[in-house]
Amino acid sequence: MDGKTGKTRYFAYSDYLKQKYGERVYKLPVNLPITCPNRDGECGKDGCIFCGDVGAAFENLPSSLSVKEQIRRNAEYIGKKYKAKKFIAYFQNFTNTYMPIEDFKRVISEAAKENIVEIAVSTRPDCISDEYLEVLNDIKNEYNVEISVEIGLQTVNYKTLEKINRGHTLAEFTDAVLRVKKYGFDTCAHLILNLPWDDKTDVIENAKMLSALGVKQVKVHCLYIVKNTKMAKMYQNAEFEMGSYFDYADKVITFLEYLSPEIVIQRLIGRAKEEHTLFANYSTSWWKIKDSIDAQMEYLDTYQGRKCDYLNGKCVRKFLT
Ligand code: SF4
């Protein structure tokens, strides 16, 4: 990938999927009736301070439907809409490895059928163990599907992680990435680039840490303020301010500049329903923000990896030339 040419100045997920599968591939969300150890008392009761009752996704079908049925309905709808033939079964909401291992095996196997080329499992860093990865590896071999594991981090700043009540630190994330990589599965890290307690130094360290760990993909979000959360109360009490759109765009561009050009960008901005939030994406549609960041990168003539010169012994490089 050359970040300086082409339609975008970063390694877009759609390009990666086309390279990998030879055609457009679409995600089918699968919603399981599960929770999260940061909500049920295992490691915390209140959850992350920004997390709403509906979890991360609002586009899902009801979790009372079987995995098979959710995939069938979503494949029919998305297949027709985009003329798609290959799909990724995406277990997104809450913590999709937080269940007895036999249940995990059953639900993941149920997704590995016909036109599913990949299974993507979203989870927390402290819910990844060798035993669960072994299950995924068996499914990969038995059904000939690719596996990717999406791991929530939000920020590498362990003091901010404490403030947002994540219930884990950077160490668990590092451990999880290294374990997933041993199996050759793609890893995807989830970050919120504009947490109020993080500054630009943290944004740069996010990029450097993911690059050093060799994470394969990244999903970047702008913070939403979801109604009825602890963060919503703090926002209403003016305990912090949301920066401007320009501040967010600047953070995203800085992040991309320091990020390895090998890392695939799944998204630069998320989506949230207005009725669930007090603040979401500066009341602007996600694609307008994305287009504006793309245009700004073009204007600045910058690209992903432009400042990624810090790995592999920067200071001894002069002795090797
Ligand atoms: S880990 Fe995810 S599901 Fe659990 S409380 Fe935090 S954001 Fe919500």
Structural domains in the chain, sorted by start: 13-319 (3.80.30.30)
Report the separation in Å between the CA atom of 93 and the middle of ligand 1, taken as the mean of its atom positions.
9
Element (H, E) at 138: helix 130-143
Is the Cβ–Cβ distance between 13 and 265 less than 8 Å?
yes
Nearest CA to ligand 1 atom 4: 36
Q: What contacts 203, CB < 8 A, 6 or more positions away?
A: 193, 251, 254, 255
Nearest CA to ligand 1 atom 5: 47
Is the Cβ–Cβ distance between 120 and 88 less than 8 Å?
yes
Using pLDDT thresholds of 50, 70 and 90, give the confidence band for residue 321.
confident
Ligand 1 shell residues, CB under 6 Å: 36, 38-39, 47-48, 51, 55, 94-95, 124, 152
Element (H, E) at 74: helix 67-82
Tens digits of residue pLDDT in 100-159: 999 999 999 999 987 999 999 999 999 999 999 999 999 999 999 999 999 999 999 999
Pull the structure tokens for residue 37: 């150890």
Determine the residue type at 265.
I
Judge whether residue 99 has pLDDT over 50: yes
Is the Cβ–Cβ distance between 120 and 150 less than 8 Å?
yes
Name the β-bridge partners of 152. 190
Nearest atom in ligand 1 to the alpha carbon of residue 166 is 6
Statement: the pTM of the whole predicted model exceeds 0.85? yes
Nearest atom in ligand 1 to the alpha carbon of residue 50 is 7
- Most informative mutation of 34, 39, 97 for ligand 1 (most atoms within 8 A of CB): 39
Is the Cβ–Cβ distance between 213 and 178 less than 8 Å?
yes
Nearest atom in ligand 1 to the alpha carbon of residue 165 is 6
Nearest CA to ligand 1 atom 7: 51
Ramachandran category for residue 102: left, alpha or beta (phi over 0 → left; psi -120 to 50 → alpha): alpha
Report how far apart, in Å, the C-alpha atoms of 64 and of each of 33, 35, 105, 183 are. 7, 14, 18, 31
- Most informative mutation of 53, 95, 122, 231 for ligand 1 (most atoms within 8 A of CB): 95
Report the separation in Å between the CA atom of 196 and the middle of ligand 1, taken as the mean of its atom positions.
18
Tens digits of residue pLDDT in 175-211: 999 999 999 999 999 999 999 999 999 999 999 999 9
pLDDT value at position 256? 98
Pull the structure tokens for residue 122: 């979203």
